Structure 1
C-alpha cells in the first residue's frame, strides 16, 4: 500500500521548507485511519521527559503503536499535524521528527504536514501533540473490532 500513496510537490510552488510533501493523493478504495493527538506519555501514564525532544520521540512511538494495532506502518501516513507549545521547543520537536522520518521515509517520500506553535496544550507539562491520518487498503488492515 505505501507505494500507491502519491506524495509530491508540484511545480509552480516554492519547495517545502522541511520534511514534507505539499500534496498526498490516496488511491480509491483505501481505508482511512484517523489518529487522535498523541503526546509524549509512556504506557504507565508518566511523561517521557520534560523536553520537547523526548516528548516528540514518545508521541511518535505511540503513533507507531497505534498504526500497527490496525495493521498499518508509518509508511502509510498521508498527513501529520503537530502542535508545539512555544517556539523555543521547535528544535527538540524537529530533531525527534527528523530521526523518525529518516527511519520511516529513507527515500524522502514524506507525508503532508502542518505545524502550529501554540501558547499551550491540555496541561502545562505537555509540549508536543501529534495527530495523523494514514491509509491502508482493505486487504492490509486488520479487523480489531
Structure 2
C-alpha cells in the first residue's frame, strides 16, 4: 500500500498534498506526460484555468484507468500555470476533484509553479504525474 504522511518535524503542508510518499516494492512507477485541458476530441475545454484543469484531470483519470490504476495510485502531481491570475480557477478545479478522489485527505505529493508561458499561448495549465501501479503476477 502506498503510504503518505506529513512528519510533525516540519510545517504542515500549505495545500492539499503530503510531504512524503512511500511506494512499496510491489509497485511499478509510471510517468504521465504533461496533460493539457483538451477533451478526447482534441478541442480546448475553454480559455480559463478552471475549465482546462477540469478537462486535464478527466484526462488524467482516463490515463490512470488505462494504466490499471486509480487516483489512490498517484504519487506526485506537478502543475504549471502560465500566470498567477490562473491560480484561483486552477485551485477550484483541483479542490473539487481532489475532494472526490481523496475524501479522507490522503493527498499525493504536489508541486506547483508559475511559468512565463506553456507550449501554446491558449494553454494556461499543464499537469504531469507519477503513478505507482501494483504489479500483477
TM-score by length of 1: 0.92
Runs ≥4 residues deviating over 3 A? none
CA contact (8 A) 2:37 2:123 kept: yes
1:130 corresponds to: 127
- Per-residue CA deviations over 1:4-24 (Å, capped at 9, x if unaligned) read 111011111010000000000
1:117 corresponds to: 114
- Per-residue CA deviations over 1:66-95 (Å, capped at 9, x if unaligned) read 110111111110100000010000000000
Q: Distance in 1 between matches of 2:41 and 2:9?
A: 48
The equivalent position to 2:96 in structure 1, one of 78, 93, 99, is 99
What are the ranges of 5 or more consecutive residues in structure 2 without an aligned counterpart? none
TM-score by length of 2: 0.97
Q: Distance in 2 between matches of 1:39 and 1:103?
A: 20
2:32 corresponds to: 35
How many residues get paired?
137
What are the ranges of 5 or more consecutive residues in structure 1 without an aligned counterpart? 141-145
1:88 corresponds to: 85
Considering only aligned residues, what root-mean-square deviation do their CA atoms show, in Å? 1.0
The equivalent position to 1:61 in structure 2, one of 58, 63, 79, is 58
